[in-house]
């Protein structure tokens, strides 16, 4: 692939640059322009480096390559001479995250690099964004190996740490939820399928992986959490000064349930229940959590909608059983999450089978979980056996993954935990980078989550297409915002994710525009990006 000549004018817009190079193709023009902006006339030749210029992330690192590369000195084109530091960074860049294909240097994981070439000593820190990263041991081992292979290195000191990712929507949340990185809903929309069992065991699996975890039991009519765990303090306390709730704890996991409110099960109407759940969830002093697991109540009514609207759910895990009846109810829940733009990342099929006399039996039939996966495109399926110990552990107050950490059930939950960590990291990256403004191109870049399509919009086009009451009369549909009211050279001041469905754009006149992804996809595009076909 022949790269284009770098633009001579640093103020040349992306659109002007692309249109001045019509024969080479927009994809090449975009790469060439980006490379020349970062490194002057020196272009990056490695395909991996070019890819890293667009997105770099692993586990839940959600920062851009350009900022991290600049701070770590990782951009190969800006290094003059093979210094000892650059040799170490080059060696570490061989370590590629298996899920996302980006090296750990580009991700900004390498911190506090110290090199003593005379003594042959190298020390650095690998800072991940979640202590529950399932491949942290692999990172540490590989980092030691690749650096030790340098001929002048005699000693390598690697320190592992974690700097949790900040919540994407922190400024838009109630105070109690602003320090929670990921919120996971465990739902079945049907009672009696083992949803609470999955929620509790998933939470303690994540905690065992090193994460800070909380559980919120959202079933006011029949709370399960007080039966499934055995905290020493079984009554929620109130902070009188702050008027907040202090969660109880069991084995390092924070717990909140209406069953710990000293009232047992509630007898009240739906609107009152929604208010109770809202109060319990948003006024609790959760502190800093990597994951908050919400044990959703059965159904798809007011309570479920309240939960989905009050908190920005990162993802959902669906629990079902092999029966056809369970699939019908689960399908309703998946559709609800789809409408609310909450991605379902895994299906757990409970009570699938049992082994006896050297054979495997399926007493309730087969295929419900597979049907959910196939029909709704959910990427991962996990099977849980019919096992008396799993049921008994739920009744005894000690989760099965705690009681038997090496058992078959625990291994399945470990796989589920790894899946949840990886999928949450991927979702956070997609949401945080879905819509951004590139000042070099003077265009708004859009890449909607779960879509391979990437396109550019003129800022003025986005501003003129606002459909809020300030721009369009709600009763008559008359356009109040006129084309001439918006200058052509307008630029957004800030773009923030708003849930999994939209972004909030702040403009210089102080106006905050809510721009749903669906609406952005319908706007007139600045340029059309063709698919790159291999030579």
Greatest mean pLDDT among 142-151, 197-206, 224-233, 308-317 lies in 197-206
CA torsion angle 304 306 312 316 (round to 10): 0
Task: Please determine, for residue 27, whether its predicted confidence score (pLDDT) is greater than 70.
Answer: no
pLDDT at residue 284 in the model? 93
Domain presence at residue 22:
no
* Residue 165, phi-psi category: left (phi > 0), alpha (psi -120 to 50), beta (remainder): beta
End residue of a domain, out of 162, 191, 212: 162
pLDDT at residue 469 in the model? 86
Average pLDDT rounded to a whole number, residues 95-105:
68
Phi, psi (5° rounding) for residue 244? -120, 165
End residue of a domain, out of 124, 140, 162: 162
CB 244 within 8 A of CB 176: yes
Residue 212 and residue 325 in one domain: yes
Average pLDDT rounded to a whole number, residues 299-323:
82
Domain count for the chain: 3
CA distance 367 to 507: 51
Domain presence at residue 48:
no
pLDDT at residue 513 in the model? 92
Please name the residues in contact with 177: beta carbons below 8 A apart, sequence gap of 6 or more. Answer: 167, 183, 281, 282, 286, 292, 311
Q: Which helix (H) or strand (E) holds 497?
A: strand 494-498
Residue 236 and residue 275 in one domain: yes
Please name the residues in contact with 302: beta carbons below 8 A apart, sequence gap of 6 or more. Answer: 270, 271, 273, 274
Domain presence at residue 39:
no
End residue of a domain, out of 135, 162, 189: 162
Q: Is the dihedral of CA 328, 334, 337, 341 positive or negative?
A: negative
CB 159 within 8 A of CB 183: no
Domain presence at residue 127:
yes
pLDDT at residue 198 in the model? 94
The DSSP output letter for 436 is: E
**pLDDT band with cut points at 50, 70 and 90 for residue 56:** very low
Length of the chain (residues): 535
Domain presence at residue 427:
no
**pLDDT band with cut points at 50, 70 and 90 for residue 63:** very low
> Regarding beta strands 354-356 and 455-457, do their DSSP bridges make them parallel or antiparallel, or are they unpaired?
unpaired
Residue 197 and residue 306 in one domain: yes
Domain presence at residue 26:
no
The DSSP output letter for 311 is: S
Residue 475 and residue 447 in one domain: yes
pLDDT at residue 11 in the model? 38
Q: Is the dihedral of CA 455, 168, 38, 442 positive or negative?
A: positive
Domain presence at residue 144:
yes
Average pLDDT rounded to a whole number, residues 13-28:
38
CA distance 387 to 91: 48
Residue 374 and residue 403 in one domain: yes
Task: Please determine, for residue 41, whether its predicted confidence score (pLDDT) is greater than 50.
Answer: no
Looking at residue 124, which CATH number applies to its domain?
3.30.300.130
Domain presence at residue 85:
yes
Distance of CA 401 to the CA centre of its chain: 24
Q: How many CB atoms lie within 10 A of CB 11?
A: 8
Q: What is the pLDDT of residues 203-229, one digit of tens each?
A: 999 999 889 999 999 888 888 899 999
CA distance 204 to 417: 9
Average pLDDT rounded to a whole number, residues 144-154:
88
Task: Please determine, for residue 75, whether its predicted confidence score (pLDDT) is greater than 80.
Answer: no
Please name the residues in contact with 475: beta carbons below 8 A apart, sequence gap of 6 or more. Answer: none
CB 421 within 8 A of CB 133: yes
Containing domain of residue 506, as a range?
Answer: 1-16+441-535
pLDDT at residue 129 in the model? 64
Q: Which of 91-105, 289-303, 342-356, 420-434 has the lowest mean pLDDT?
A: 91-105
- Its pTM stands at 0.70
Residue 153 and residue 249 in one domain: no
Residue 100 and residue 224 in one domain: no
Q: What is the pLDDT of residues 235-291, one digit of tens each?
A: 888 888 888 999 999 999 999 998 888 765 666 666 788 788 888 888 999 999 999
Residue 147 and residue 260 in one domain: no
Q: Is the dihedral of CA 187, 188, 192, 195 positive or negative?
A: negative
Phi, psi (5° rounding) for residue 143? -65, -45
> Regarding beta strands 289-295 and 213-217, do their DSSP bridges make them parallel or antiparallel, or are they unpaired?
parallel
Q: What is the pLDDT of residues 487-517, one digit of tens each?
A: 999 999 999 887 777 888 999 988 999 898 8
Residue 261 and residue 349 in one domain: yes
Residue 349 and residue 318 in one domain: yes
Residue 408 and residue 458 in one domain: no
Question: 137 or 385: which carries more pLDDT confidence?
Answer: 385
pLDDT at residue 171 in the model? 55
CA distance 261 to 246: 11
CB 350 within 8 A of CB 197: yes
Residue 78 and residue 189 in one domain: no
pLDDT at residue 362 in the model? 85
Show the CA angle centred on residue 26, arms to residues 442 and 96, nearest 5°.
90
Looking at residue 9, which CATH number applies to its domain?
3.30.2020.30
Q: What is the pLDDT of residues 383-429, one digit of tens each?
A: 898 888 888 887 888 999 999 999 889 999 999 999 999 888 888 87
CB 351 within 8 A of CB 508: no
């Amino acid at each position: 692939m022949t790269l284009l000549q770098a633009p001579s004018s640093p103020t040349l817009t992306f659109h002007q640059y692309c249109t001045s190079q019509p024969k080479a193709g927009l994809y090449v023009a975009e790469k060439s322009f980006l490379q020349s902006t970062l490194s002057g006339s020196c272009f990056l030749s490695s395909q991996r480096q070019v890819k890293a210029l667009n997105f770099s992330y692993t586990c839940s690192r959600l920062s851009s390559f350009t900022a991290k590369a600049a701070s770590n000195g990782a951009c190969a084109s800006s290094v003059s001479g093979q210094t000892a530091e650059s040799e170490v960074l080059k060696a570490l860049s061989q370590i590629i995250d298996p899920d996302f294909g980006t090296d750990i240097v580009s991700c900004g994981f390498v911190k506090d690099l110290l090199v003593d070439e005379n003594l042959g000593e190298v020390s650095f820190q690998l800072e991940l964004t979640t202590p529950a990263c399932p491949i942290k041991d692999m990172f540490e081992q590989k980092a030691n190996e690749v650096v030790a292979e340098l001929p002048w290195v005699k000693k390598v000191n690697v320190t592992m740490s974690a700097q949790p990712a900040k919540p994407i929507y922190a400024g838009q949340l109630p105070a109690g939820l602003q320090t929670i990185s990921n919120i996971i809903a465990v739902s079945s929309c049907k009672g009696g399928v083992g949803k609470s069992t999955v929620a509790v065991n998933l939470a303690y699996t994540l905690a065992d992986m090193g994460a800070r975890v909380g559980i919120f039991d959202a079933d006011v009519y029949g709370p399960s959490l007080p039966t499934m765990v055995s905290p020493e303090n079984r009554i929620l306390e109130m902070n009188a000064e702050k008027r907040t709730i202090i969660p109880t704890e069991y084995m390092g996991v924070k717990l909140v349930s209406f069953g710990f409110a000293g009232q047992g099960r509630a007898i009240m109407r739906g609107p009152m229940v929604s208010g109770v759940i809202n109060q319990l969830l948003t006024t609790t002093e959760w502190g800093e959590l990597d994951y908050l697991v919400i044990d959703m109540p059965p159904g798809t009514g007011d309570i479920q909608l309240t939960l989905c609207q009050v908190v920005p759910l990162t993802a959902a895990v669906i629990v079902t059983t092999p029966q056809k009846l369970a699939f019908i109810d689960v399908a309703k829940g998946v559709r609800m999450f789809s409408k609310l733009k909450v991605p379902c990342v895994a299906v757990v099929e409970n009570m699938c089978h049992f082994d006896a006399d050297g054979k495997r039996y399926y007493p309730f039939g087969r295929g419900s979980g597979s049907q959910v996966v196939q029909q709704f495109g959910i990427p991962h399926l996990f099977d849980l056996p019919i096992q008396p110990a799993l049921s008994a552990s739920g009744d005894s107050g000690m989760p099965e993954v705690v009681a038997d950490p090496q058992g078959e059930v625990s291994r399945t939950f470990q796989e589920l935990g790894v899946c949840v960590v990886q999928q949450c990291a991927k979702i956070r990256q997609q949401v945080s980078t879905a819509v951004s403004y590139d000042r070099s191109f003077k265009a708004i870049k859009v890449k909607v989550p779960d879509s391979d399509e990437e396109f550019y919009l003129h800022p003025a086009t986005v501003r003129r297409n606002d459909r809020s009451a300030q721009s369009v009369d709600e009763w008559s549909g008359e356009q109040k915002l006129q084309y001439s009211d918006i200058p052509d050279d307008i630029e957004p001041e800030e773009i923030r994710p708003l849930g999994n469905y939209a972004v909030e754009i702040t403009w210089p006149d102080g106006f905050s525009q809510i721009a749903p992804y669906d609406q952005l996809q319908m706007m007139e595009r600045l340029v059309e990006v063709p698919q790159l076909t291999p030579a």
